[in-house]
Chains A and B, each alone.
Chain A
Amino acid sequence: MASLVRLARGRGHPLAAALWVSTARLLVGYLLTCAIGVLLGLALWRWDDLDRLFGPVFLGLQALPSVCWVPLAMLLPLLGASERGIIFVTVMGSTWAVAMALRDGLRALPTIYRRSGLMLGARGWKLYSHVLLPSSLPALVASLRLGFSFAWRSLMGAEILFKAVLPGLGFLLKSGQSDAAQIVGIMIVMVVVGMLADRWLFARVQARVQARFGLS
């Protein structure tokens, strides 16, 4: 098995190329997910009416398997079977999780931070930037970590189903066809990438935040 992975690496470096492509897509998709998810989460937390209207909808969307977004992506005129379509599926499969996790995390914040901030003269946007946002850091980091794993999963699913785009890891998985060794090998690569990113980046950042806050 390992030898076949090495083979895949040798043939004009398709593995390296695929890794490169997948990672690039992940970066773009994940950053979009973060931006949209954080804004949505903040909005749902801040405005009760929005939460009552959209909260259950987002919860449902979060539960939707990410591959279910593929047919829609293929249909929509701006997207179609292109890079944009893949990014779309990646984002749709993860942004709701980020939004809901952030909203719930913000809700759990003790109200005394806000009262202290007001008492000390923090008003308007300063209250947000100096009190509310920093106090929400543990919840934010946790939701972003969650969003990452969702995004990676969504991306891999999309890469398998999309045709006629640059070959990523998902494509290599599909192109293995009857070659079980290649299939399993690529799966191992996918798992390892997700694990490493989580361990080297997210776990570390989260540990530092928790240590600062005295939560660990």
Chain B
Amino acid sequence: MMPIRTSPAKAATERGRLGLTNITRFFNGSTNHGIQDISLTCDPGEFVVVVGPSGCGKSTLLNIAAGMIRPTTGTVTLDGKPIAGPGPDRTMVFQDPGLFPWLTAAQNVEFGLKMAGMPKSERLDRVNAALNLVHLTGNDDKLIHELSGGMRQRVAIARAMVLDPAVLLMDEPFAALDAQSRTLMHAQLQELWGQTRKTILFVTHSVGEAVRLADRIIVLHAHPGRIRREIRVGLSHPRNFDSSDITQLVRLVRREIEDEVNRVNRAMAETYWHPAPPPDLDGDSHTLGGGI
């Protein structure tokens, strides 16, 4: 069990190098499904986003990084050492917050600390700091069913962050939220990452989300899952979500994925529906879905 560090701010710069080497994982014995030979390194403090169509294996990849699933071949290392199953050094935020309904928000956040054997007084301070980080101070005693979807996800993030992990793994955490909440969460996550500089490996199917948040975007093939392209996003932080740089980049990455989706559709069906591109009204491309 990794010792809990007491100085959160400096931690991220010296630890949090996540290495995935030649990861292969097949399902149903078939070599056409799953992921094949994926290698990826996340540097300490880097925000990496994996984007791809449904079924490309991005969640599988994340679960392998978390230690929940074992790869068929390949290794996962954290700061040079191979991982041994799930643990508080690589915490996760799932699409379903997965909070414990019999505990209050504060109790949920302190759960990991309790498992690590931290004394109560120290736990209290850490929990308050974590709830503060996600702007949920004062909601300590609320039960989970009393919180909105966005608030629950913030508690889940607090729960993952309070353990001072080396790497934060996020599996489409905002997919179940409405568009406004999602934009809010992007801003909050950006702020949180700016303050703590954790290594984050984030998985999503939304291109807009990837461009808003990432230092580096990994675009994944499907059937089987392979890395198609890596894109470095040079935009500075914090980002203005409405800037044209973002819109342009979204268009570029989208095209990559749409090609991929069409290729898959063509392979899987005789006919496929490709919607006619909307008229370009004022030069700025109004892509389907508003770029989110």
Contact = CB atoms under 8 A, between A and B. Distances in A.
Interface string B63-102: 0001010000000000000000111101110101011111
Chain B CB within 10 Å, residue with most, of A118, A119, A126, A212: A119
A113 B102 contact: no
A212 B98 contact: no
Given A115-B94, A119-B88, A213 B163 contact: no
A110 B96 CA distance: 10
A122 to B, nearest CB: 5
Range of interface residues on B (Cβ < 8 Å)? 20 to 34
A147 B160 CA distance: 40
Interface residues of A, number: 19
B111 interface: yes
Interface in A115-129: 115-116, 118-122, 126
B145 interface: yes
Given A213-B145, A214-B144, A116 B102 contact: no
Contacts of B115: 120-122, 126, 130
Contacts of B163: 120-121
Interface in A185-216: 212-214
Interface stretch (A23-31, A77-85, A131-139): A131-139
B143 interface: yes
A113 B68 CA distance: 13
Contacts of A214: 101, 143-146
9 contacts: A112-B94, A119-B88, A121-B1, A130-B111, A130-B114, A130-B115, A212-B143, A213-B145, A214-B143
Given A119-B66, A122-B115, A214-B143, 15 more contacts: A110-B98, A115-B86, A116-B100, A118-B86, A119-B91, A120-B88, A120-B115, A120-B159, A120-B163, A121-B163, A134-B100, A213-B102, A213-B145, A214-B145, A214-B146
